[in-house]
A = this chain, B = another copy of it.
Amino acid sequence: MMGVVNLVESDFNITVVGLGLIGGSYAMALRELNPRNLWGIDINKNTIRIAEEQGIIDKGYVNPEIPLRKSDIVIICLYPDLTIKFMKDNMNLFKSKAIITDTAGIKDKIVKEINTFIREDIEFIGGHPMAGRECGGLAFASKDIFSGANYIITPTRRNKAKNIELIEDIIKKIGCKKIVKISPEKHDEVIAFTSQLPHILAVSLVSSDIEEDVGSFIGGSFKDATRVAMINSELWTELLIDNSNNIINQIKVFEDNIANIKRAIINSDSSFLKSTFEKVRLKREELK
């Protein structure tokens, strides 16, 4: 590709902001790219100490000023609203020509708000790695969480092609399988269906009254359907409220679908059930 900056041959300082599950994993994966300096920013001194001791970062800071002034690339791994706040609060500290990306699960609000106040000489490119774990925090971080994952980026007209390519280069090098470029609006619309709705279904299923001995009646279907019910309550409350229009639309479609099945069961409508199950089977097989 013309114009691609090859990170590994470059001489960049990278800062990861927020050393939780995703930030910690990102730092671990970035280490293999051998950046000049790999810094971390976190509000928790203990987290910084552990990340330094384990060599996950070269040095960590509670005060963002020192690393931001020298960082060519900044990867923000915070909750959506904190991502916007971090950008706003530290706008004057970024190095000229810095390229900044984030990892939050919604994109439209973040990209739009940041684009209202971002400096002309720096760039923000929204990102969303389709990777996670049931447990949060640096203790569960691993560079392997990106291995084979899909990664969505949401560049806008503000972004230069060479900077988008640099972010793509990093994403490939941390092990992701596929990069999808899409608008922030479209990202939020699709993710409401493929990620947020399944989480809401899992939560709604576990919300039913469960009898004491229900564990003995559980097979793979219940386990799989409820694995993601163990969500981070703070983060997911934000994600759902920030993407409320899309997620409400998806819930409504889902409610219609389950109401159709309920009606068919009430009416013993075998032919509707059979044809629905057959259609769905083919559709799901195509996704494998």
Chain B nearest CB from A165 CB (Å) reads 19
Per a CB cutoff under 8 Å, which of B152, B193, B261 touches A203? B261
A139 within 8 A of B: no
A157 within 8 A of B: no
Residues of B within 8 A of A225 (CB): 198, 201-202, 224-225, 228
Residues of B within 8 A of A92 (CB): none
In the assembled complex, the Cα of A131 lies from the Cα of B222 at a distance in Å of: 12
Residues of B within 8 A of A216 (CB): 150, 152, 178, 180
Is the pair A265, B283 in contact by a Cβ cutoff of 8 Å? Answer: no
Number of copies: 2
Is the pair B253, A219 in contact by a Cβ cutoff of 8 Å? Answer: no
In the assembled complex, the Cα of A285 lies from the Cα of B231 at a distance in Å of: 11
In the assembled complex, the Cα of A54 lies from the Cα of B200 at a distance in Å of: 46
Is the pair A222, B198 in contact by a Cβ cutoff of 8 Å? Answer: yes
Residues of B within 8 A of A200 (CB): 258, 261
In the assembled complex, the Cα of A225 lies from the Cα of B273 at a distance in Å of: 19
Which size class do A's interface residues fall under?
35 or more
Residues of B within 8 A of A205 (CB): 197-198, 201, 254, 257
Is the pair B277, A203 in contact by a Cβ cutoff of 8 Å? Answer: yes
Chain B nearest CB from A226 CB (Å) reads 6
Q: What is the 8 Å Cβ interface bit string for chain A, positions 162-179, against chain B (1 contact, 0 not)?
A: 000000000000000010
Is the pair B234, A262 in contact by a Cβ cutoff of 8 Å? Answer: no
Is the pair A217, B194 in contact by a Cβ cutoff of 8 Å? Answer: yes
A120 within 8 A of B: no
Q: Which of A16-24, A44-52, A68-76, A240-248 contacts the other chain?
A: A240-248
Knowing A255-B255, A287-B226, say if A130 contacts B195 (CB, 8 Å): no
Is the pair A250, B208 in contact by a Cβ cutoff of 8 Å? Answer: yes
Is the pair A281, B217 in contact by a Cβ cutoff of 8 Å? Answer: no
Closest 5 pairs between A and B when the two form their complex, measured CB to CB: A233-B277, A198-B225, A130-B219, A204-B257, A198-B221
Given contacts A190-B211, A220-B227, A251-B262, 6 further A-B contacts (CB under 8 A): A194-B217, A195-B221, A207-B260, A229-B281, A230-B284, A244-B266
Residues in chain A within 8 A of chain B (CB atoms): 130-132, 149-150, 152, 178, 180, 190-191, 193-195, 197-211, 213-222, 224-234, 236-237, 240-241, 244, 247-248, 250-255, 257-262, 265-266, 268, 270, 273-281, 283-285, 287
